[in-house]
Amino acid sequence: MRHNLRYIMNLIRGIVVILLFSSLLYSEKYPARVKKSVTFIFSKDSSNRLEVQGTGFFVLLNANQENDTATFGYLVTTKTALKKQNGEFLETLYVRINRKEGYSDTLIVQLNVDSAPRYFIHPDSTVDLAIIPAFPDVNRYDVLYIPSGMIGAVDVFGRENIVEGSEVFSIGMLPSHIGLFKNIPAVRFGRIAQVSDEKYQWDKSFTELYLIETDITQGSTGSPVYYFNEALKDSGGIVRSRTLVLCGILVGDYGTGPHASGLARVIPSYKLFDLLNQSAVAGEREKELNRLRQKKNK
């Protein structure tokens, strides 16, 4: 999607997206428009039929270099959603995205170009997280990007007082009803069940997670997880404004078979910051900024 979808859009459009998110926080009890950030991901089987891979969502990041500014878009999902059942990475993804007219397109995304991957995975191999540079046209597609400022940093739980029992919600695919003509995401509500300063063991490795009570399906891996609170007064009587923050990415069940726990694993949102700012990803943004500067100076 780096070349066959628009890679750079005007900074003003990024500001408009942020303003849209700001306005929805103060005009709606439930920020339903955030569902527009979600897209559905598929592969094809040997019979050329679409197979569920998972959910993805779009984020927006502004980058600056000298006097140049550019806006970059990324499709966020899990590594698992980009892989075959045997663990190998797919060559092609099929991304179903809603159009303004009320139906959807299925975009073909080649994951490799000239034998080089077009995706980036988290540098920590235990973190099931991947991004693909992607910038669907907001004039054609009914898409809302998550501004990078909405991604919860490492201190988000303490800053927002998110603890065991705090309500969160995720938005993702329900494979039994994805929608005939357009994507219809499912919104699942749950509560934080466990937050630990120790890493969790999963698939013979130890990784950073937290656990929530929520239902999960094959198609919901890669779903964004949000914390949302309405305006309330603190102990000093000061009114605290509403908060909507991306606090994690849903990756799957915690426990299987006789050890099933009814809990889901969530990657903390700051791991997405790690990935967006790793040297390989930042290097691609720097190349594009250099190209834009050279073009402007011609």
* Average pLDDT taken over every residue of the chain: 85
What's the pLDDT score for residue 120? 97
Looking at the domain assignment, is residue 26 inside a domain? yes
Looking at the domain assignment, is residue 113 inside a domain? yes
Looking at the domain assignment, is residue 3 inside a domain? no
Q: Would you give the DSSP letter of residue 90?
A: P
H or E stretch covering 233: strand 232-233
Q: Are residues 58 and 77 in contact, defined by beta-carbon separation less than 8 angstroms?
A: no
Looking at the domain assignment, is residue 285 inside a domain? yes
Q: Which residue type occupies 40?
A: F
Looking at the domain assignment, is residue 229 inside a domain? yes
- At 226, which CATH number? 2.40.10.10
Per the document, the length of the chain is: 298
What's the pLDDT score for residue 110? 94
CB atoms within 10 A of CB 68: 14
Query: Which stretches within the chain are classed as H helix?
Result: 11-27, 156-159, 270-276, 279-297
What's the pLDDT score for residue 234? 53
Residues 276, 61: Cα–Cα separation, whole Å: 9
- Domain of residue 37: give its range: 8-297
Residues 207, 199: Cα–Cα separation, whole Å: 5
Q: Is the pLDDT of residue 22 over 60?
A: no
197-238 pLDDT tens trace = 999 998 889 999 999 999 888 899 999 999 998 655 455 555
Q: Are residues 136 and 149 in contact, defined by beta-carbon separation less than 8 angstroms?
A: no
Looking at the domain assignment, is residue 1 inside a domain? no
| 232 bridge partner residues | 240
Structure tokens given for 199: 């890493």
Residues 224, 187: Cα–Cα separation, whole Å: 10
282-295 pLDDT tens trace = 998 888 888 877 77
Calculate Rg over the CA atoms of the chain: 19
Stretch 86-113: mean pLDDT: 94
Number of domains present in the structure of the chain: 1
